[in-house]
Amino acid sequence: MQGSNGNKEGEGTVEEQQISKKQPKACPSTYKTFSLSLQALVILAKHSSLCPSSDIAQDIQSEATLLRRILSVLSRENIIETREGREGGYRLSKRPEEITLAEVYAALHIDEARCVSMTEATGENPFGLKMKAVMYDITSEIDQSILNVLEKYTIQDLVNRTCELD
């Protein structure tokens, strides 16, 4: 199907394609990302040495490129440490009992993604602006409730629970 720019839909212009190739894709802020993050952190908690992203991706049956984007965010937020090179890999930057699920959730900015998606559906008219303010208040309350629950659990708790299932 042809788009308005004459290219097939989803292709974009040549300039857009070149720009998208140069810039690393952002890590999506979704519950899937959160789940993959937690799974990767549990794998890292079970390893005493550096663990390559390919091993983690294989263990959790995830696409390696997406996982590396997620791990990059966790590294920037000092949840994990990264060592590059042939002998490189990832490891937790703190003990697993010191990393709360709330910390991981906040690092991925999932709360912002939900708020934006809910408020984007409102219009720029007077009613839409009022709804946007109401939706922001509600999503803030939802996020605080979620963080309160996630603050109760650590990566070590997940390790312990997964070991119980073995």
Domain ranges of the chain: 24-164
Contacts of 163 (CB under 8 A, 6+ apart): none
In this structure, which topology does domain 24-164 adopt according to CATH?
Answer: Arc Repressor Mutant, subunit A (1.10.10)
pLDDT given for residue 59 in this prediction: 95
Per-residue pLDDT of 14-37, as tens digits, reads 444 444 444 444 555 578 899 999
- 74-83 exposure pattern, b = at least 16 Cβ within 10 A, e = fewer: bbeeebbebe
Alpha-carbon gap, residue 82 to 69, rounded angstroms: 12
Tell me 87's DSSP state. T
Its pTM stands at: 0.75
Query: How much is the mean pLDDT over the chain?
Result: 83
pLDDT of 118 > 50? The answer is yes
Q: Is 68 helix (H, G, I), strand (E, B) or coil?
A: helix
pLDDT of 60 > 80? The answer is yes
Contacts of 120 (CB under 8 A, 6+ apart): none
Per-residue pLDDT of 86-112, as tens digits, reads 888 999 999 999 999 999 999 998 767
Predicted confidence band of residue 119 (pLDDT cuts 50, 70, 90): confident
Q: Retrieve residue 152's tokens.
A: 């109760």
Instruction: Quote the crossing angle between the two packed helices 53-60 and 31-46, to the nearest 10°.
Output: 110
